[in-house]
Structure formats: C-alpha cells, structure tokens
Structure 1
Amino acid sequence: MDAEVTRGSDRNMAKSSLVTVKPVVNAVRILRFLSQAGAPARSVDIARKLDINPSTCFNILRTLVAEDMVEFSPISKRYSAGFGLARLVEQFVTQGQKVQRAKPLLESFAADSKVTVTLWRRMGSDRSVIVSSATCPTDVSINMSEGQRVPILMGASGRLYASELDLDAEQPREMFEKIRWGGQLSYATYRQQVADAAERGWAIDDGHFSIGILAVAAPVYSPARTIDYTVSAVMFRGQRDEDGISELGKALCGLCNELQDVLF
C-alpha cells in the first residue's frame, strides 16, 4: 500500500511559487557545461554555446574562479571545472555512502518493530526528503518511496523540524496554511503538538499526514545539535495503543542515537 505524500496539485503549486535568480541559473549552467565538456573552454565559447551575454558570462566565471569552483589557465585563457567543485561533489558522494551504511539499522528496526521506517533529510528551509526506507519483511507494510519530498512542517518529522522555528513568526504559519493535510488540523493544535514533541523527544502524526496512517518520528542530531535528519516509523492507525506508541517513540530515539555515529 502506498502512502501518497505529494499530490499533483501540490507539485503544481510548488512549481508556480518558485523564484529563479537568473545569474544563479547561469552559474549552474556554466558549471554543468564545464563538468561535461571534457576539455577547457574559452569564456566567449561558453557564452555562445549557452546563449549568455559575453560580459555576464565572463563576470560569472571570474566569480566562480574566486570561489574555487572553476580553474582558469592564464596561458590558454581557458576555463575548466575547479577543485572546489570536485570537493563539493565528493561531499555529496560521502553523504550518500553514510546513508547507505544506515540502511541495515533501518531494516533491523523495521523487522523488529513491524513498521515501515523512513530516514528523512532536511532539504533547505522549506522541505524534507526520504533518503532511505525499510519495510518489515514478515508483515503487511506501507510503501514510502525514497526520493519523495514533502513540505518541511508536514508529518511527524515536520513537528520536529518545527521545534527549531519561531512559530510565532508569520512565515511558519504561512507555510503551515499552504499544506494539504490529510485530516483537519488547526495551527494552535499543531503548535501544541510541536511543544509536546520537543518535551518528550519524539513526535507523532495521527492521520494528518495521510488518512489512516500513524507516524512516530525522532530526531538525529548533528554535532551542532541541529536536526538535519529524522527517522519515522509508519504504521496503520490502531496497530498500537498509547503505551505501545510511547514505547516505539523511545525505541526510535535509541535508533537515532546509533545513527548519529553513522551519519556524522
């Protein structure tokens, strides 16, 4: 059974609300071009191939050189992908390897607890994404696909991320109001649930993320004590009583403590 976490109308709304900054877009296009070109290129050639104003292209390249993302040869007057870009890619690869090392822990927890387990990662300030998941091999499970993204405040994990925000400010409330919740939920109730989660160390979403689904989540703290990852246990509503949910929340906190050594 699939737990649908992103509806088509949500995707369209997200796309329509995107704000693009053209110089940033052009910088990304230049980096992509240089990483795929296979050979150094002159500024004028890059500008022509990408249809960028030559002066603008030159200034972006100078900036990227200063940031170590691009290398410039004063002899050939050509640009190539820099060491800084390689280091950035290496960091992403390393993080992916760490997530893979976390997989056996998720699988073991899913099998022992008879739940679906998902590892969420914060992506910027407005969303989170499933980077790994595991289901119980001996029980009916809920499929949560890796790569699925949701608004940062949504679900049990969202209540943990929200604990790091000023919920009295205007922006969090606006973000909350844009979410298409599975069940009716007021902002006042949400705020109380965030406070409860912060106090006990784990959060719960009972049918608001998706009707019929209950999720419990705990944070994986970074060395700076920020919440960059969360782990969520997903099950059908009614599978556990209140004591069972509390026991599961505490067990998730233990799992997250183990994951700290793996992910950071």
Structure 2
Amino acid sequence: MDFIDVNDTTKAAGATLVKPVSNAIRILRYLSQVGTPERSVDIARQLKINPSTCFNILRTLVQEDVVDFSALSKRYSVGLGLARLVEQVVTQGHRVQMAKPLLQNLAARQRVTITLWRKMSPDRIVIVASAASPTDVRIDMAEGQRLPILMGASGRLFATQIDLDDPEVQGSFDTIRWAQPLSLEVYREEVRQAAERGWALDDGHFSGGILAIAAPVYSPNHSIDFTVSAVMFRGQRDEAGLADLGKALIEFCNEVAGVLY
C-alpha cells in the first residue's frame, strides 16, 4: 500500500504548496464539475495524478465524508459531508451580514467603534464585521484583520477557555508583540477578572493610546466562537463609564447570539 507523504511540498509563486492537499482539492473540484460518479483510474488520468496516490486520497476523502463511494459501480462522487460543510460556511457568512446592522446601531449609541471577532483556528482570531464610531475623530478597524488568539480584549475572553499553564500556550504568549508589554502573571489575572465580571479590558497593550472592552458571544454549548469589542481612545470614558459599557456589551452579546447561532 502506498502512503501519502505529508512532507511532499513544492514552491509555487513564493508559497509552499503541499501536493496531497492540492490534489485533494483538485479531486473535489473535478467531481463537483463533472457531476457524475467517476472511477479512481479515470480521475487520476484526467488530473494527471499517480493512480495509487489518487486512490489513497479518495479513500481518505471517503473516510472524511466529503466523497461517497459506490461499492457496486466502484465509482466516486461528491459526498453530503462536503455539501453540509459549504452550507455551514455560507449560513454563517449570512448570519454575520445580518448582525452588521446591530453592530452599527450599537456603535452609534455608544459612540465607539464596534468589532465582531471570530475564532478562526486554535491560535488566531479575525475581525469578521466592523462598525466605525459616527464621531468626527474615530478609530477604523479593518475587516479581515487577524491577531494571535491571546491578544487584545477579545483575546482575554478566548483565554478563559484555554489552559494558560500549557507550555505551548505560554510559548505563544511570549512571542506576542504588545505595544505595551505585560507579564503572563498580569495577563493571567486580567483573564481571571474577565471571567468573573463577564467582560475584558485591554488598556493600551494592543495599541498605544487605544482602549478596548470586549464581551463573549456564547454558543448553545457555552463555547466562545465570537466576541464583540468596543474600541475607543484612552481617557474617553472614566472607570464607571467603562463598567457601564462592559455591561451593555454583555446584554448586546446575548442579543446578537440569537442572530449568529
């Protein structure tokens, strides 16, 4: 039996190309386009993939439920798992779009910039929606901006569901470039406070002169996949005003959860 070498990589346009991954995507694209069940040998010939390699990739895709195999005809076709995966992505994107007017309304009421963050991987978060403050002097946060999962006010919320004693997590923390550095001990205490009061604060550590407050959007199983963050200039609100904003964000996140889930 042939095995797929995950180290089988080449350089393409300055980026690393992992051949087995590329071939798996090509196979899925081909099966989607032809629209009819195909034999492994025919797929390999059409895509110019080594037959045994193609067979092993197809078997893996069948195990992952994104390709179906008919034992009777010995042919492969796109599986329901792929359709469900695409549906989930499209549905979630649609729900984020539905949440945008709510973000804009909150930004106008609170006169701060509001961002919706999403956990995109075990170590990264990304802004999926942003609504700028309607004031003349404002902070713009670009959609698509990615950060280490521990960074910023939102990072402190995601950190409440991460083991900060894990050496790998501590190593990741040490590589973060803060505008205003802080120790892991201080960070750990701020994470504890965030878990206790339900909202987190980053005072100038993410970006000099900028203060952010964030609250979690809990999923039905109480995991944190999204956060909502209010971004403002330092000194824009006093301590009581920040606490009031934190409570307002908690209420808003309870509301927007009904749209995102």
TM-score range (shorter-chain normalised) is: 0.7 to 0.9
2 CA distance for matches of 1:78 and 1:248?
58
The one-letter amino acid of 2:87's match is: E
Select the structure that is richer in strand.
Answer: 2
2 CA distance for matches of 1:51 and 1:107?
50
Q: State the Cα distance separating 1:171 from its structure 2 match.
A: 1.6
Structure (1 or 2) with the larger CA radius of gyration: 2
TM-score of the two chains, using structure 1 as the length reference:
0.85
Q: Partner of 1:3 in structure 2?
A: none
Larger relative contact order, structure 1 or 2 (CA cutoff 8 Å, min sep 6): 1
The one-letter amino acid of 2:65's match is: D
- Counterpart of 1:102 (choices 96, 99, 103) is 99
2 CA distance for matches of 1:255 and 1:50?
50
Given that residues 221 and 260 in structure 1 are in contact (C-alpha distance below 8 angstroms), is that contact kept between their aligned partners in structure 2? yes
Relative distance call for 1:50 and 1:188 in structure 2 (3 A) is farther
3-state SS in 2 of match to 1:59? helix
Q: Partner of 2:144 in structure 1?
A: 147
Q: Partner of 1:224 in structure 2?
A: 221
3-state SS in 1 of match to 2:162? coil
2 CA distance for matches of 1:143 and 1:80?
46
Q: State the Cα distance separating 1:215 from its structure 2 match.
A: 0.6
2 CA distance for matches of 1:20 and 1:126?
22
3-state SS in 2 of match to 1:205? strand
1 CA distance for matches of 2:190 and 2:47?
50
1 CA distance for matches of 2:49 and 2:183?
48
2 CA distance for matches of 1:51 and 1:181?
48
2 CA distance for matches of 1:19 and 1:246?
47
- Counterpart of 2:211 (choices 194, 204, 214) is 214
3-state SS in 2 of match to 1:163? helix
Q: State the Cα distance separating 1:52 from its structure 2 match.
A: 3.6
Shifted more, 128-137 versus 216-225: the winner is 128-137
Relative distance call for 1:179 and 1:234 in structure 2 (3 A) is same
Q: State the Cα distance separating 1:234 from its structure 2 match.
A: 0.6
Q: Partner of 2:232 in structure 1?
A: 235
Instruction: Write the deviation string for residues 19-76 of structure 1: whole angstroms up to 9, x where unpaired.
Output: 9976455433422343345555442343345554321211221232344312345676
Alignment of 1:1-264 (within 5 A): 23-24=20-21, 26-37=23-34, 40-48=37-45, 50-72=47-69, 77-264=74-261
Relative distance call for 1:42 and 1:218 in structure 2 (3 A) is same
Aligned residues: 247
Given that residues 114 and 139 in structure 1 are in contact (C-alpha distance below 8 angstroms), is that contact kept between their aligned partners in structure 2? no
1 CA distance for matches of 2:176 and 2:17?
22
TM-score of the two chains, using structure 2 as the length reference:
0.86
Give ranges in structure 2 of 5+ residues lacking alignment.
1-14
Q: State the Cα distance separating 1:253 from its structure 2 match.
A: 0.5
1 CA distance for matches of 2:85 and 2:99?
22
Given that residues 133 and 139 in structure 2 are in contact (C-alpha distance below 8 angstroms), is that contact kept between their aligned partners in structure 1? no
Relative distance call for 1:76 and 1:135 in structure 2 (3 A) is same
